[in-house]
C-alpha cells in the first residue's frame, strides 16, 4: 500500500487534512481544461482539413503528434513532481494553454503539427501530477473516489469540446475555428490561475516542504526498481493498448459519425455521448474497483470495449447508441483503475507515484500516438472506418490476454 506522509495522515492512515477536498477541486479544474484541450480538435477535423488542404492520414499525424513527446517527457516530469511536489503542475497547464493558443494561430500543416507537439511537453506534468496529489492527500476507499472525481474533470472537458464546438462556439465566433481554439486556451489560463491560488494554501505549502525534506533516491534507481517489478511491466504494456484505444476513438469518433451521414453539429452531440457515459464510469467504477474486485471490473470494461466497437461498426440505431455508451464506459475508467493498480501494489510508495504514473504515460502514449495515426491511415487506405473499428476490437482482445497474465502475477506467491 502506498504511504502517505505521516503528518498528513491519522493513525489509521486516513488523511486528516480537510483541505484535501480543495486540492481535489483544483486538480479537477486542471483536468477539466486538460480534457477540453485534448478533445478540442476532434470536432474540427473536417473544417481544418478543408482549410489547410490536408488528408485524413496527414491529419492523423497532427492528432497523434503530442503523444510522441509524452513518451519522452512523462517519466522525467513524474520524477520532477516526486522531487519538488505537485504544485509544479502550474508549469504544465501553462504549456497546455500555450499549445492551445498556438493552434489557433496556425496557418499551415507544419505550424499546426508543432503547436500540438507543444502540448506533449506540458501535459505530463498534469497527467502525472494529478495521481501524485491523490496519493498524498487520500487513502483507502477515498483514494478510489478521488481518482474517479478528478477523472470526471477530464470527461466533462471532453463533453464541453465535443458538444459545444460546432453547435455553439463556431457560430459564436463566425465559423472561425482558430478563434474557437484561442477561446479554449483562454479558459486553460483561468484554470491555471485557480490552481495557483488553491495550491498556495499553507496546508499545501507545508506538504511541499515535507516532500522537499524527504530523502529521494536517484531518478534512474527509482525507474530501475519500478521496471524490475513484473506487475509494473505488465501494467505498462497494457497502458500502450489502453491509450491506443482511448485516443484513437476519441480523436476520430466525430469524423466516423459524419461518415455515417450526420452533420457536424449532430455528430458532435453524439460523439459527446461516450464522454457523458465515461463521466459516470470514471466517478463510480474506480471506487468499486477495490483490490478484491479490481480484475473483474477491469476485465468487464475490456469486454465492453470489444463489444462497443462492433456495435459502432453497425452504423444503425439503436445499436450505434448502445455502442457509443459502452465505448464511453470503457474509456472512462480503464486508465483510472490501471493507475490504482500502480498506487496500491506491494511495490508502491507515495514518494514514487509521480515516477510510476510518469512511466505509465510514457509507455501509454506510444499507443496514444499510434492510435489516431493508425485509424487515419487505415480509413484512407480502405475508404471507410470499418477496418479501424475492427482493429480496436482486436486491441481489446490483446488487453484481455494481458489482464489474464497480470492477474496470474498478482496472485502468484512471492
Question: Where are the domains positioned within the chain?
Answer: 19-411
Q: Is residue 399 scored above 70 in pLDDT?
A: yes
What is the C-alpha separation between 211 and 136, in angstroms, rounded? Answer: 10
Rg (CA), the chain: 20
Asked if pLDDT for residue 260 goes beyond 60, the answer is yes
Alpha carbon distance 193, 384 (integer Å): 43
Peptide linkage before 296 cis (omega within 30 of 0): no
Q: pLDDT per residue over 48-104, tens digit each?
A: 998 999 887 788 788 777 777 777 777 777 777 777 777 777 778 899 999 999 999
| Averaged pLDDT score across all residues of the chain | 82
Mean pLDDT of 175-204: 92
Mean pLDDT, range 355-374, rounded to an integer:
81
Inform me whether the pLDDT recorded for 199 exceeds 50.
yes
**What does DSSP assign to residue 168?**
I
Give CA–CA dist 404/19, Å, rounded.
39
Q: Indicate the pLDDT class of residue 180, thresholds 50, 70 and 90.
A: very high
Distances (CA, A) of 174 to 169, 181, 188: 9, 13, 22
Q: How far is CA 181 from CA 92, 139, 265, 281, in A?
A: 18, 37, 17, 28
C-alpha cell at 88: 509544479
pLDDT digits (tens, 9 = 90+) for 117-150: 999 888 888 877 777 788 778 876 677 778 778 8
Check residue 214 and give left, alpha or beta (phi > 0: left; psi -120 to 50: alpha).
Answer: beta
Fold of the CATH domain 19-411: Growth Hormone; Chain: A; (1.20.1250)
Q: Is the pLDDT of residue 6 over 50?
A: no
d(CA 221, CA 82): 13
Least confident of 52-66, 128-142, 187-201, 304-318: 128-142
Instruction: Give SS3 for 385.
Output: coil
Q: Is the pLDDT of residue 17 over 80?
A: no
CA gap 120, 130 in Å, rounded = 16
Separation between Cα atoms, residue 303 and residue 240, nearest integer Å: 17
Is 202 exposed, middle or buried, given 0-12, 13-18 or 19+ CB atoms closer than 10 A? exposed
Q: Is the pLDDT of residue 395 over 70?
A: yes
Classify residue 262 as left (phi > 0), alpha (psi -120 to 50) or beta: beta
pTM exceeds 0.85 for this model: no
How crowded is residue 72: how many other Cβ atoms within 10 Å of its Cβ? 14
How many angstroms separate the CA atoms of 305 and 367, rounded? 16
Phi and psi at residue 54, in whole multiples of 5°? Answer: -125, 155
Scanning 260-293, the segments in alpha helix (DSSP H) are: 264-288
Largest CA distance in the chain: 63
Q: How far apart are CA 205 and CA 102, in angstroms?
A: 33
What is the three-class DSSP state of 11? Answer: coil
Nearest to 74 by CA among 62, 60, 92: 92
Rounded to whole angstroms, the Cα distance separating 321 from 327 reads: 10
Helices marked H in 289-385 — which ranges? 294-314, 319-344, 353-382
Q: Which pLDDT band, with edges at 50, 70 and 90, does 344 fall under? A: low
Amino acid at each position: 500500500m502506498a504511504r502517505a506522509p505521516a503528518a498528513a495522515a491519522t493513525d489509521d492512515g486516513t488523511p486528516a487534512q480537510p483541505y484535501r477536498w480543495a486540492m481535489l477541486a483544483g486538480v479537477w479544474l486542471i483536468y477539466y481544461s486538460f480534457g477540453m484541450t485534448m478533445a478540442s480538435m476532434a470536432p474540427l477535423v473536417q473544417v481544418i482539413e478543408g482549410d489547410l488542404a490536408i488528408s485524413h492520414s496527414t491529419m492523423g499525424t497532427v492528432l497523434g503528434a503530442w503523444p510522441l513527446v509524452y513518451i519522452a517527457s512523462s517519466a522525467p516530469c513524474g520524477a520532477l513532481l516526486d522531487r519538488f511536489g505537485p504544485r509544479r503542475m502550474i508549469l504544465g497547464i501553462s504549456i497546455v494553454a500555450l499549445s492551445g493558443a498556438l493552434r489557433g494561430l496556425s496557418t499551415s500543416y507544419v505550424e499546426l503539427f508543432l503547436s500540438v507537439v507543444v502540448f506533449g511537453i506540458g501535459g505530463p506534468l498534469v497527467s502525472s501530477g494529478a495521481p501524485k496529489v491523490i496519493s498524498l492527500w487520500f487513502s483507502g476507499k477515498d483514494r478510489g473516489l478521488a481518482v474517479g472525481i478528478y477523472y470526471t474533470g477530464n470527461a466533462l472537458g471532453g463533453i464541453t469540446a465535443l458538444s459545444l464546438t460546432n453547435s455553439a462556439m463556431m457560430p459564436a465566433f463566425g465559423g472561425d475555428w482558430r478563434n474557437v481554439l484561442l477561446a479554449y486556451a483562454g479558459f486553460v489560463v483561468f484554470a491555471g490561475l485557480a490552481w495557483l491560488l488553491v495550491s498556495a494554501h499553507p496546508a499545501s505549502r507545508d506538504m511541499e516542504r515535507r516532500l522537499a525534506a524527504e530523502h529521494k533516491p536517484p531518478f534512474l534507481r527509482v525507474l530501475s526498481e519500478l521496471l524490475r517489478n513484473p506487475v509494473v511491466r505488465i501494467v505498462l504494456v497494457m497502458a500502450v493498448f489502453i491509450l491506443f484505444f482511448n485516443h484513437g476513438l476519441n480523436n476520430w469518433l466525430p469524423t466516423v459519425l459524419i461518415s455515417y451521414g450526420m452533420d457536424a453539429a449532430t455528430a458532435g452531440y453524439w460523439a459527446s455521448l461516450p464522454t457523458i457515459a465515461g463521466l459516470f464510469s470514471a466517478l463510480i467504477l474506480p471506487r468499486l474497483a477495490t483490490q478484491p474486485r479490481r480484475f473483474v471490473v477491469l476485465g468487464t470494461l475490456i469486454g465492453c470495449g470489444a463489444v462497443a466497437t462492433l456495435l459502432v461498426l453497425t452504423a444503425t440505431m439503436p445499436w450505434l447508441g448502445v455502442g457509443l455508451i459502452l465505448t464511453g464506459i470503457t474509456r472512462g475508467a480503464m486508465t483510472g483503475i490501471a493507475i490504482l493498480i500502480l498506487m496500491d501494489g506491494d511495490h508502491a510508495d507515495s514518494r514514487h507515484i509521480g515516477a510510476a504514473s510518469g512511466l505509465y504515460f510514457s509507455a501509454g502514449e506510444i499507443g496514444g500516438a499510434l492510435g489516431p495515426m493508425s485509424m487515419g491511415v487505415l480509413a484512407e487506405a480502405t475508404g471507410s472506418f470499418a477496418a479501424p473499428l475492427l482493429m480496436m476490437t482486436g486491441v481489446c482482445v490483446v488487453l484481455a490476454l494481458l489482464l489474464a497474465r497480470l492477474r496470474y502475477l498478482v496472485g502468484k506467491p512471492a
